[in-house]
């Protein structure tokens, strides 16, 4: 090829280097330079005649080695950035948030590295094949000499007049400066993002309440062993809950029998229809203790009768109460009208049919509503009367006495056996919210005072499904429910602080902490042999929440929640709800909660040895 031909078109290889002549020059990747920008080729020819190449132009003697070196540098850069972004902090062993994020990042980085390796291998093979083809047509044997080791490769980015990696670094001073500047910036940013310290009491309360940081690790040193916890569980929990699963099955079958009798009685009445019941609460979720299994909670969903529909009107959750009202309206049963909307069906809008719809709607409004909204007290009283009539139909099947204690928010059933044993069942009515497992129920928490038309929002069915899925996919003989049972049993053994009428820390708080940890830790970490470690994690999680006065609701605003749990779409992107918000507003309640937690830690350290009275 002559000099004129070189000026006409200059072909550039894949790695951006000239493929001819003893000198080396750098241009764009895989491009053919036209005449109007071939001035650089003339400079290259001049450099070849003089035998010198500028220091800012690196000398790549082999394309595959250059790409290999660049890949090594890229991998080192990724490794450095991983260490910078995720340094291992002191006492990070118990930082569950960092642990979960690190595992997710590690998995994502592994996938990206695998893709980069595959892409690098493909590009390397393509470059080698192209180089061999070009060398074959040009008759170039330099590649063979390199393969046979007849030429000294040296540092792949070595330029003339510079030796080794130092010369390459000086030749790329701009890139090295940017890299160092970026590292310094990241290190400074990490130092500024320190974890805030949370005090358990404000400066104004220090004189009244002296609180030790509940998340300190000094109490973990003398934590009981797995054998001691197993012994306590056997005497205080296992003997009490031995027949719990059989009792739950009987309770559900008995309530189903009563509901079926109610359907027979109300077949021709314009009243809400009862659906199949669902067992909720500690007993049916298999984490109940002696105190938690004294009553059985059953959710009974209700649906409107034909010709009537329930419209749920939710209250603003920012007001502090998650509840809603149930508006009762008339509804035409014509499917054609539902589809077309503004078209009236002459058959179903006959005078007699319209009168029937009006009569059905007015019957419910008069009997069960206040205004146009479903009244909790009236609906529960109607349901209670239905249960009494249904018992008269099925009483001959059972060998116990049934009584219905008075209640305004739930239908209570008491089953008295001849042996003196009794069972207490609470039937809670619920209206389903959309196509989810969230219900507006008749029974409100003890601390909430609602009107008769306010139906509190319940997530018990969603939590029941989550724990059921955990039990299905977790390894056999896991300890997550056992941890909760041990904690609640120890809590039941302690007395309330002086002057307290009821405990601040409820079983729902401990259950929420457990469910959060089930999402953050792999299910394989809940094996039977790790009982002591997981019990420490639950106590640490709740203790940290007390210090921060923050315990997020498990379902609202939880981005880690599996998609298999049917909840309203707005819940996943909503702001998290703080279950300890009342501790922020009430310092005395917070000090009582911290005292209860410290008493619980004392109970854990000094496990009682004698079994409970009546445990056998």
- Angle in degrees, 0-180, between the axes of helices 244-265 and 376-394, rounded to the nearest 10: 100
Q: Are 99 and 91 in contact (CB under 8 A)?
A: no
Percentage of residues of the chain with pLDDT beyond 70: 62
- pLDDT tens column, 534-544: 999 999 999 99
**In the predicted model, what is the mean pLDDT of residues 529-534?**
92
Residue 147 tokens read as 């393969």
Q: Which two tokens stand for residue 245?
A: 């699963």
**Residue that has been written with the tokens 């609602």 in this structure:** 450
| Per-residue tokens: 353 | 């049919």
Q: What is the pLDDT of residue 86?
A: 58
Region of poorest pLDDT, from 158-172, 302-316, 364-378, 575-589: 158-172
Task: Spell 41-74 as b/e; 16+ CB within 10 A means b.
Answer: beebbebbeeeebeeebbbbbbbbebbebebeee
Considering 37-51, 172-186, 298-312, 433-447, the range whose residues carry the highest mean pLDDT is 298-312
List the one residue out of 476, 443, 441, 488 whose CA is nearest residue 282: 488
What are the two backbone dihedrals, phi and then psi, of residue 322, each rounded to the nearest 5 degrees?
-95, 95
Per residue in 43-61, pLDDT tens? Answer: 555 555 655 555 555 554 5
Mean predicted confidence (pLDDT) in 356-382: 81
Instruction: Report DSSP state, residue 528.
Output: G
Taking residues 602-613, what's their average pLDDT?
69
d(CA 362, CA 270): 9
Helices and strands, counts by H and E, the chain: 19, 14
Q: Which is it for the CA torsion 391, 458, 379, 359, positive or negative? A: negative
Tell whether the model's pLDDT for residue 216 goes beyond 70: no
Identify any residues that bridge with 299 across adjacent strands, giving them in sequence order: 278, 428
* CA 290 – CA 450 distance, rounded (Å): 30
338: number of Cβ within 10 Å: 10
Angle separating helix axes 480-493 and 507-520, nearest 10 degrees? 160
Per-residue pLDDT reduced to its tens digit, 226-270? 999 999 998 888 887 888 889 999 999 999 999 999 999 887 677
Domains of the chain: 226-336+355-495+503-606 (3.30.460.90)
pLDDT at 432 over 80: yes
How confident is the model at residue 14, as a pLDDT?
A: 40
Average pLDDT over residues 31-37: 43
**Cβ atoms of residues 87 and 175 within 8 Å:** no
- Given this model, what pLDDT does residue 428 score? 96
pLDDT at 133: 59
Residue 3 has pLDDT above 70, yes or no: no
Confidence of residue 587 (pLDDT cuts 50, 70, 90): very high
Q: What pLDDT is stored for residue 416 in this prediction?
A: 93
Number of Cβ within 10 Å of residue 30's Cβ equals 12
The total of other beta-carbon atoms located within 10 Å of residue 373's CB is 21
* Most confident stretch, 323-332, 347-356, 466-475: 466-475
Residue with token string 């719809």: 357
Average pLDDT of span 198-218: 39
Pairwise pLDDT comparison (372 vs 30), residue with the higher score: 372
Supply the pLDDT for residue 26: 43
Q: How far is CA 250 from CA 240, 390, 415, 416, in A?
A: 17, 17, 12, 14
Query: Is residue 280 very low, low, confident or very high in pLDDT (cuts 50, 70, 90)?
Result: very high
Q: How far is CA 69 from the centre of its chain?
A: 42
Q: Answer yes or no: is pLDDT of 487 > 80.
A: yes
pLDDT tens-digit readout, 329-364: 887 666 555 555 544 544 455 444 545 555 555 678
Taking the chain, what is the end-to-end CA distance rounded to the nearest angstrom?
Answer: 101
pLDDT of the residue at 49: 61
Quote the CA–CA distance of 64 and 129 in Å, as a whole number: 11
> Among the listed ranges 73-87, 272-286, 561-575, which one has the minimum average pLDDT value?
73-87
Residue-wise DSSP of 115-132: HHHHHHHHHHHHHHHHHH
- Residues 612 and 605: their CA atoms lie apart, in Å, by 18
Checking phi first, is residue 133 left (phi over 0); if not, alpha (psi -120 to 50) or beta?
A: alpha
**Residue 193: what pLDDT?**
42
Rounded to 10 deg, the angle between the 587-605 and 531-548 helix axes is 160
Answer with the residue of higher pLDDT: 505 or 104. Answer: 505
* SS3 category, 6: helix
Looking at residue 239, what is its pLDDT? 81
- Per-residue model confidence (pLDDT) at position 493: 85
User: Using one digit for the tens of pLDDT, what is the confidence trace for 70-91?
Assistant: 666 766 776 777 666 655 554 4
Alpha helix (H) ranges present in 313-443?
335-340, 351-368, 376-394
């Amino acid at each position: 090829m002559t000099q004129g031909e070189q000026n006409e078109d200059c072909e550039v290889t894949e790695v951006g280097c000239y493929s001819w002549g003893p000198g080396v020059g750098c241009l764009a990747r895989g491009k053919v330079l036209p005449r109007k920008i071939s001035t650089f080729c003339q400079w290259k020819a001049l450099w070849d005649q003089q035998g010198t190449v500028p220091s800012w132009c690196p000398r790549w003697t082999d394309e595959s080695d250059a790409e290999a070196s660049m890949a090594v540098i890229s991998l080192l850069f990724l490794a450095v950035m991983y260490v910078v972004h995720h340094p291992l902090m002191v006492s990070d062993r118990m930082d569950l948030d960092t642990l979960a994020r690190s595992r997710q990042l590690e998995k994502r980085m592994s996938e990206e590295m695998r893709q980069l390796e595959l892409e690098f291998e493909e590009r390397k093979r393509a470059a080698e094949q192209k180089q061999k083809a070009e060398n074959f047509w040009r008759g170039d044997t330099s590649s063979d000499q390199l393969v046979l080791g007849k030429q000294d490769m040296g540092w792949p980015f070595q330029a003339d007049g510079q030796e080794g990696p130092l010369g390459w670094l000086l030749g790329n001073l701009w890139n090295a400066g940017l890299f160092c500047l970026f590292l310094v910036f990241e290190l400074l940013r990490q130092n500024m993002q320190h974890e805030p310290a949370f005090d358990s009491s404000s400066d104004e309360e220090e004189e009244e309440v002296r609180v030790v940081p509940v998340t300190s690790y000094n109490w973990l040193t003398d934590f009981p062993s797995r054998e001691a916890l197993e012994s306590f569980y056997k005497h205080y929990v296992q003997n009490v809950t031995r027949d719990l699963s059989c009792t739950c099955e009987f309770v559900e079958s008995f309530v189903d029998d009563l509901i079926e009798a109610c359907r027979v009685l109300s077949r021709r009445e314009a009243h809400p229809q009862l659906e199949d019941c669902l067992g909720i609460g500690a007993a049916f979720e298999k984490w109940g203790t002696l105190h938690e299994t004294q009553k059985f909670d059953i959710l009974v969903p209700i649906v409107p009768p034909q010709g009537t529909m329930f419209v749920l009107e939710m209250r603003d959750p920012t007001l502090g109460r998650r509840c809603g009202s149930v508006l009762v309206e008339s509804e035409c049963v014509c499917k054609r009208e539902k589809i077309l909307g503004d078209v009236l069906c002459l058959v179903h809008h006959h005078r007699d049919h319209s009168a029937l719809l009006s009569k059905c709607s007015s019957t419910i409004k008069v009997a069960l509503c206040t205004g146009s909204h479903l009244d909790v007290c009236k609906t529960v009283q109607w349901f209670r009367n239905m249960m009494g009539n249904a018992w008269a139909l099925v009483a001959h099947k059972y060998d116990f006495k049934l009584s219905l204690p008075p209640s305004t928010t739930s239908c209570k059933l008491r089953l008295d056996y001849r042996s003196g044993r009794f069972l207490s069942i609470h039937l809670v009515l619920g209206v389903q919210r959309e196509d989810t497992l969230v219900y507006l129920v008749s029974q409100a928490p003890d601390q909430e005072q609602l009107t008769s038309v306010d139906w509190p929002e319940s997530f018990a069915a969603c939590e029941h499904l989550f724990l059921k899925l955990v039990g299905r996919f977790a390894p056999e003989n896991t300890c997550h429910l056992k941890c909760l049972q041990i904690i609640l049993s120890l809590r039941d053994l302690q007395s309330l602080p002086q002057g307290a009428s009821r405990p601040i820390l409820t079983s729902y708080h401990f259950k929420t902490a457990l469910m959060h940890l089930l999402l953050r830790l792999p299910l394989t970490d809940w094996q039977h042999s790790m009982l002591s470690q997981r019990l420490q994690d639950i106590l640490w999680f709740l203790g940290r929440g007390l210090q921060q006065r923050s315990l997020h609701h498990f379902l609202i605003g939880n981005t880690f929640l599996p998609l298999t749990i049917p909840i309203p779409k707005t819940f996943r992107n909503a702001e998290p709800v703080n279950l300890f918000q009342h501790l922020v507003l009430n310092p005395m309640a917070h000090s009582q909660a911290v005292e209860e937690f410290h008493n619980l830690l004392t109970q854990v350290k000094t496990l009682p040895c004698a079994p409970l009275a009546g445990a056998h």
